[in-house]
Structure 1
Amino acid sequence: MQTKLVYPIIAQENDDADGHYFVGFTPNLPGVVTHGGTLVDLVINAEDAIATMLDGESYPAVQDPRKWTLQANESIIYVTVDITAWQRRNARKVRRTIAVPQYLSEMVDQRKIDVSRLTIEALEDVFRADR
């Protein structure tokens, strides 16, 4: 079962001695505060912050952001959080040992291939095909 949530956040644009950046927070989830150099960075960081806060918790109802009072440098943006995908990306890793022919091992070393990453992607493809 895949769980996708959409939460509005307040994106506050700042331009001060620290430079130009965005801060995001949401009255839906007190304690969630993040930032980014661009709005795209802010959304990516907000997705991670929201998923971290909600991991293993119940999902609070989304408030209507039209009732929020905004400052001149603030706007509402919506962040989609795919809890299932986030949990998979952040799952605890376990060590597995595999044996490969020597010639492949040499080719992996020459091309600097991340065998763990390649194995994870291949296994995910296998299980995705099974669905």
Structure 2
Amino acid sequence: MTAHPRLKIKIQIHSGDEIAMGPGKADLLDAIREHGSISAAGRAMAMSYRRAWLLVDVMNRCWDAPLVQTAPGRAATSGARLTELGEAVLAHYRALQDGIAHAARGPDYDALAARLLPEPRASQKD
């Protein structure tokens, strides 16, 4: 049985030249919500703290209010959490992803899948 071709649509929302939201940033927000810190979220995603922090910094600079609020230190109130806007942006982004995934199933996908080879040819001359 031949597997159906994989269709991947990646949504990126830009603010100027920066990617304000994309699939990786949405996953990072989910991980921050789950783990309560940028470092723990980064570890869960096999990402360095620096990389995770830089992604949070970009998101916080691209929207009209921060998506992630941080509190340094070792107190019970330290760590990171999604702001109300962060929760809303994440929910809207996930809804957009779901809507596009649903729209991507149908006759147009079927027409493309019917013509797509399971593997590329070794050469254009084959």
Answer with 1 or 2: which has the greater Rg: 1
Task: Name the structure with the higher helix share.
Answer: 2
TM-score (norm 2): 0.25
Task: Name the structure with the higher strand share.
Answer: 1
